[in-house]
Amino acid sequence: MPGPTLQPTVHRAAFAAHGNVRPFRPYPRVLCLDAHGRILDWMSWQDAVCLYVREAVVWTLGDPCLTVRGGHNRADDRQSVIELHPIVAARGHARAKALNPAPALTNPALFARDGHLCMYCGNDFSRGQLTRDHVKPISQGGRDVWENVVSACFACNSRKGGRTPQQAHMPLLAVPYRPSWVEHLILSNRHILADQMAFLRSHLPRRRRLQA
Ligand SMILES: [Zn+2]
Question: How many A from CA of 204 to the centre of ligand 1?
Answer: 29
Question: How many A from CA of 128 to the centre of ligand 1?
Answer: 13
Mean pLDDT of 155-171: 97
Q: Angle at Cα 205 formed by Cα 201 and Cα 206, nearest 5°?
A: 90
Question: How many A from CA of 159 to the centre of ligand 1?
Answer: 9
Half-sphere exposure of 141 (CA within 13 A, CB side): 0
pTM passes above 0.75? no
In the chain, % of residues over pLDDT 70: 83
Question: How many A from CA of 188 to the centre of ligand 1?
Answer: 23
Domains and their CATH numbers in the chain = 7-98+183-201 (no CATH), 107-168 (1.10.30.50)
Pairing of strands 87-90, 30-34: parallel
Question: How many A from CA of 158 to the centre of ligand 1?
Answer: 10
Return the amino acid letter for 140.
Q
Regarding predicted confidence, which is higher, 169 or 22?
A: 169
Half-sphere exposure of 201 (CA within 13 A, CB side): 12
Question: How many A from CA of 115 to the centre of ligand 1?
Answer: 13
Mean pLDDT of 157-184: 95
Asked if residue 18 has pLDDT above 80, the reply is: no
| Band (135; pLDDT cuts 50, 70, 90) | very high
- List CB-based neighbours of ion ligand 1 within 5 Å: 118, 120-121, 153, 156
Model pLDDT for residues 79-98, shown as the tens digit of each residue: 888 899 999 999 976 665 54
Q: Angle at Cα 210 formed by Cα 205 and Cα 212, nearest 5°?
A: 135
